[in-house]
């Protein structure tokens, strides 16, 4: 019987100790909340401000929407302050020096990001605050925040953006709440974004006036640089190659017969392609942006080169047709294409010279003996030798114009290709210099 009572007593002691260990936090909670007012600032002297340490831990940059001028990121917003109404003696509660309380039951600073348009986080009813026995309170909020930012896209896609986030109290002035930033800013959990590189994440403290009151503002500057490799491979190189192919196409050699084919279709197709690329780029830019982005300038220059090349090719086509009017090749065009007068004469076949000599002899003989001219004409008709001096002359002129315009095509092709390469190199050099700033 005595053994039974001892065992029962031991079980009761163990059970009571277990109940007591769990109930200590409940007792502390009840004692702290008995006269606690969560709507008043936790100060003993109302003339003193509440000092709050703010430490937003940036986790990742989710999306940078340049067209909508927004930045979406994930952060853990940590805040720490002293509440003199949440103090207890651990010795009176079996050494319990820390408890968790529902955040909605205690005073919380109303520090928000002024530029935010939306915030997704767990409600205060489902979140807890960590409270130590000396009155220091800490909270951590897991937030998905979307804020508005002013982006400068003049160097797109080699742009560096700076988005300033202003953390400020919504209701409490500088006499009531004094926030300060944790130094250095917390980047221990940051995950790199695939499109943007985080250059810096710094903080600064400023004051502002509103409705006659002074407010303390904490600015966090997120400086990010775009990774341009996607836009280089998707827009710059294809635009460069399309323009090069267009230049080669509009100045390509004509066929063996000397006929110049229509080149306008090639130029118009290129312009249409470049216009589609430019439209894709403008859809990603803000409608009210100042100036044209660097990539947009490059596309416009490519369109300009393709347009000028097409117009020059059309001009050469009309110039080539001057042989139909028996117009000789101008000397300046011969010099431009490195063709001398001697070269122009050598282009005439020897048969043309012999034909002109035969014609002169026939005219001299016809004046002295008309019967001889009649006999020669009848002989050529009998042998089916219908020699057309005028056609031979036109064919020689046509051949000369074809050679001149062919050389002109080659020279202009080289000039336009070099100009296109220079423009591409300059644009990429400017962009890379902006990345290193």
Q: Residue 218 sits in which domain range?
A: 9-227
129 and 222 co-located in one domain: yes
In a domain, 354, yes or no: no
State the Cα–Cα distance between residues 354 and 10, nearest whole angstrom.
Answer: 139
Q: What is the pLDDT of residues 178-216, one digit of tens each?
A: 999 998 999 999 999 999 999 999 999 999 998 889 999
Contacts of 418 (CB under 8 A, 6+ apart): none
What pLDDT does residue 389 have? Answer: 44
**Is 374 part of any domain?**
no
Q: With 0-12 CB in 10 A as exposed, 13-18 as middle and 19+ as buried, what is 224?
A: buried
Q: What is the pLDDT of residue 291?
A: 73
> Contact, 228 vs 431, CB < 8 A?
yes
Based on the domain organization, do 317 and 178 belong to the same domain? Answer: no
Instruction: Indicate whether 46 and 110 sit together in one domain.
Output: yes
CA dist 68 and 5 (Å) reads: 77
Q: Are 161 and 269 members of one domain?
A: no
Q: 257 and 180, same structural domain? A: no
Look up the CATH number of the domain holding residue 62.
Answer: 2.70.170.10
My answer on whether 72 and 206 are in the same domain is: yes
Q: Which of 180, 199, 227 is the last residue of a domain?
A: 227
Residue 334 confidence (pLDDT) above 80: no
How far apart, in whole angstroms, are the C-alpha atoms of residue 330 and residue 397? Answer: 12
Residue 215 belongs to a domain: yes
Q: Compute the distance between CA of residue 137 and CA of residue 413 in angstroms, rounded to an integer.
A: 74
Assess whether 316 and 243 both reside in one domain: yes
If you average pLDDT over residues 283-296, what whole number do you get? 75
Domain-ending residue, one of 227, 261, 287: 227
Lowest-confidence range among 250-264, 334-348, 411-425?
334-348
Do 168 and 21 lie in one domain? The reply is yes
Q: How confident is the model at residue 356 (pLDDT cuts 50, 70, 90)?
A: low
Residue after which a domain boundary falls, among 227, 248, 266:
227
Q: Are residues 16 and 156 in the same domain?
A: yes
Judge if 334 and 427 occupy the same domain: yes
**Counted domains in the chain:** 2
pLDDT bracket for residue 347 (50, 70, 90): very low
Does 375 fall in a domain? no
Q: Among candidates 146, 149, 299, which has minimal Cα distance to 224?
A: 149
In a domain, 74, yes or no: yes
**Span 134-146, pLDDT tens digits:** 999 999 999 999 9
* 89: in domain: yes
Residue 371 falls within a domain, yes or no?
no
What six digits make up the tokens of 437? 């700033």
Residue 1 lies in a domain: no
Same domain, 71 and 97: yes
Greatest Cα pair distance, the chain, in angstroms, is 171
pLDDT (tens digit per residue) in 377-433: 555 554 444 444 444 445 666 677 777 778 888 888 999 999 999 999 999 999 999
pLDDT of residue 355: 54
Residues 302, 262: one domain? yes
């Amino acid at each position: 019987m005595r053994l039974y009572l001892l065992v029962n007593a031991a079980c009761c002691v163990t059970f009571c100790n277990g109940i007591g260990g769990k109930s200590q936090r409940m007792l502390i909670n009840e004692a702290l909340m008995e006269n606690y007012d969560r709507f008043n600032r936790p100060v003993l002297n109302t003339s003193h401000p509440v000092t709050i340490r703010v430490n937003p831990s940036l986790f990742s940059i989710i999306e940078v929407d340049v067209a909508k001028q927004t930045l979406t990121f994930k952060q853990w917003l940590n805040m720490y302050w002293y509440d003199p109404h949440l103090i207890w003696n651990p010795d009176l509660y079996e050494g319990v020096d820390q408890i968790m309380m529902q955040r909605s039951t205690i005073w919380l600073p109303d520090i928000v990001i002024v530029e935010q348009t939306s915030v997704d986080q767990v409600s205060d009813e489902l979140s807890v605050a960590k409270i130590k026995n000396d009155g220091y309170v800490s909270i951590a909020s897991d937030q998905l925040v979307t804020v508005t930012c002013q982006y400068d896209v003049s160097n797109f896609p080699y742009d560096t953006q700076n988005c300033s986030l202003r953390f400020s109290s919504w209701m409490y002035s500088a006499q009531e709440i004094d926030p300060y930033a944790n130094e250095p800013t917390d980047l221990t959990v940051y995950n790199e974004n695939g499109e943007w590189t985080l250059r810096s994440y710094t903080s600064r403290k400023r004051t502002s006036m509103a409705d006659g009151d002074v407010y303390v503002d904490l600015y966090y500057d997120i400086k990010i640089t775009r990774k341009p490799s996607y836009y280089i491979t998707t827009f710059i190189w294809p635009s460069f190659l399309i323009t090069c192919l267009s230049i080669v196409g509009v100045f390509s050699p004509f066929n063996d017969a000397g006929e110049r084919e229509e080149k306008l279709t090639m130029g118009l197709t290129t312009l249409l392609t470049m216009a589609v690329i430019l439209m894709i780029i403008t859809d990603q830019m803000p409608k009210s942006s100042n100036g044209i982005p660097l990539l947009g300038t490059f596309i416009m220059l490519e369109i300009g080169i393709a347009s000028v090349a097409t117009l020059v090719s059309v001009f050469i086509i009309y110039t080539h047709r001057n042989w139909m009017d028996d117009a000789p090749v101008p000397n300046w065009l011969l010099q431009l294409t490195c063709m001398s007068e001697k070269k122009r004469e050598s282009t005439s076949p020897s048969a043309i010279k012999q034909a002109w000599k035969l014609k002169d002899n026939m005219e001299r003989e016809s004046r002295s003996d008309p019967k001889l001219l009649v006999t020669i004409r009848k002989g050529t008709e009998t042998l089916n030798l219908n020699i057309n001096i005028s056609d031979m002359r036109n064919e020689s002129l046509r051949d000369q114009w074809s050679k001149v315009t062919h050389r002109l095509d080659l020279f202009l092709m080289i000039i336009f290709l070099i100009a296109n390469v220079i423009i591409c190199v300059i644009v990429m050099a400017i962009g890379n210099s902006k990345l290193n700033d």
